[in-house]
């Protein structure tokens, strides 16, 4: 059974207020049956150094991806993972993680491909929980195994593949990578491993909005007006636009997808999951270099 929404006034301004919960809400509902809290981090060991009591771990790299094909897990793989973590189809799943919920937003986007009915993000993520000196534990919970049904992955609404992006050229597109990656001066994030793109630059027409602009100092999402000022007033997006977002492998852009779709209410936003590591390695696709779209 779904848990009540968090009636935090800040969330009420967002298009889908039910997609977020506060750290207060999580602390209050931690022991409620029907809730599973899951941590998803960039660093695969961070959960082991301490996490929210009762929270399970969900690793984007080793668990949400297919080990062979460059793709996400399939329906049976997702069902097996959810069942093993003690998550049912009617569980309220609350995700949180490090780095402004970057990876938690990615996990939420993948969970959305399987249409999990109730998945939310904890605003502020791991950083906020720890900054507030709330309870943490090293204990790995053993939740009873569930029987999560096999649900097919639906890539048609929120995911874009290369052909769709080619057909989308000229329509609104947001590149959420760092300015150096956008211009083509860098092939990967500053200070991050080279992930192998043969060409640098951006998809022609894409506007540059580094993803973390949507996050405040304390890792929470900026308020609705601040987000509108960035994406609508500054960049000129309209809520009824058909938008494609991308980054390097589709993780940072999941954060922006969440902002545009759930916080600002754009119905048509797709994450190009191949992102630059697909586009920048493709033969004969157009590429723009420099700071201009």
Partner 1 sequence: MTAAALSPRLQEIVDEFTALPPGQRLQLLLEFAEDLPHLPARYADHPDLLEPVPECQSPLFLAVEVADDGTARLFFQAPREAPTTRGFAGILYAGLDGMSVAEILATPGEFPSRLGLQDLVSPLRLRGMSAMLARIKHRLRSQAA
Question: Which residues, in sequence order, are bridge partners of residue 57?
Answer: 39
- Residue closer to partner 1 by CB (options 62, 284) is 62
- Half-sphere exposure (Cβ direction) of 36: Cα atoms closer than 13 Å: 25
Residue closer to partner 1 by CB (options 217, 225) is 217
User: Using an 8 Å Cβ cutoff, are 115 and 268 in contact?
Assistant: no
- Residue closer to partner 1, measured from CB, 217 or 284: 217
DSSP state at residue 53: T
In order, the DSSP letters of 191-242 are TS-----SS-SB-TTPEE--GGGGB-TTSSBPPHHHHHIIIIIIT---TTSE
To which residue do tokens 């890792």 refer?
A: 219
Half-sphere exposure of 48 (CA within 13 A, CB side): 5
* Beta carbon of residue 20, minimum distance to partner 1 (angstroms, whole number): 23
- Give the whole-angstrom CA distance, residue 22 versus residue 14: 14
Binding part of the chain for partner 1, among 103-111, 172-180, 191-199, 267-275 by CB under 8 A, reads: 191-199
Strand partners, 36: 93
Catalytic residue positions, numbered: 247
- The b/e string for 78-114 (b: 16+ C-beta within 10 A; e otherwise) is bbeebbebbbebebbbbbbbbbbbbbbbbbbbbbbbb
Nearer to partner 1 (CB atom), residue 31 or residue 191: 191
Binding mask 93-112 for partner 1 (x = CB under 8 A): -----x--------------
Among 76, 192, 238, 286, binds partner 1 (CB under 8 A): 192
- Under 8 Å between Cβ of 38 and 107: yes
Q: How far is the CB of 134 from partner 1 (least distance, A)?
A: 17
The contact mask relative to partner 1 for 4-43 (x = CB under 8 A, - = no) is: --------------------------------------xx
Q: Rule CB under 8 A: say whether 197 interacts with partner 1.
A: no
Nearest Cα residue to 165 out of 268, 248, 245: 245
Name the segment binding partner 1 (CB under 8 A); options: 59-67, 169-177, 197-205, 262-270.
59-67
Q: How far is the CB of 90 from partner 1 (least distance, A)?
A: 29
Tokens 């690793």 correspond to: 59
Choosing from 195, 228, 232, 241, the residue that interacts with partner 1 (CB under 8 A) is 195
How far apart are CB 43 and partner 1 at their closest, in Å? 5
Binding mask 150-189 for partner 1 (x = CB under 8 A): ----------------------------------------
Q: Which one of 12-20, 24-32, 45-53, 167-175 is the stretch in contact with partner 1 (CB under 8 A)?
A: 45-53
Q: How far apart are the first and last CA of the chain?
A: 46
Q: Which residues bind partner 1 (CB under 8 A)?
A: 42-46, 48-49, 61-62, 67, 98, 190-195
């Amino acid at each position: 059974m779904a848990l009540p929404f968090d009636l935090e006034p800040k969330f009420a301004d967002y298009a889908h207020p039910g997609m977020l919960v506060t750290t207060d809400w999580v602390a209050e509902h931690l022991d409620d049956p029907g809730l599973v809290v899951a941590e998803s981090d960039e660093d695969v060991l961070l959960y082991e150094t301490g996490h929210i009591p009762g929270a399970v771990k969900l690793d984007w790299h080793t668990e949400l991806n297919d080990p062979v094909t460059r793709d996400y897990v399939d329906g049976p793989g997702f069902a097996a993972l959810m069942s093993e973590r003690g998550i049912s189809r009617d569980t309220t799943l609350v995700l949180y993680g490090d780095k402004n919920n970057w990876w938690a937003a990615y996990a939420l986007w993948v969970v959305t491909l399987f249409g999990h009915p109730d998945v939310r993000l904890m605003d502020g993520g791991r950083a906020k929980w720890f900054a507030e000196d709330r309870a943490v534990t090293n204990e790995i919970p053993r939740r009873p195994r569930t029987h999560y049904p096999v649900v097919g992955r639906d890539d048609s609404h929120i995911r874009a593949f290369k052909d769709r992006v080619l057909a989308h050229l000229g329509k609104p597109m947001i590149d959420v990578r760092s300015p150096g990656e956008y211009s083509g001066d860098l092939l990967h994030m500053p200070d991050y491993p080279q992930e192998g793109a043969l060409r640098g630059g951006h998809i022609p027409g894409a506007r540059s909005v580094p993803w973390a602009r949507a996050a405040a100092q304390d890792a929470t999402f900026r308020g609705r007006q601040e987000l509108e000022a960035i994406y609508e007033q500054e960049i000129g997006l309209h809520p009824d636009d058909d938008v494609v977002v991308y980054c390097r492998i589709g993780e940072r852009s999941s954060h922006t997808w969440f902002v545009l779709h759930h916080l600002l209410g754009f119905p048509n936003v797709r994450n190009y999951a191949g992102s630059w590591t697909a586009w920048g390695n493709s033969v004969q696709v157009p590429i723009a270099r420099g700071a201009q779209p």
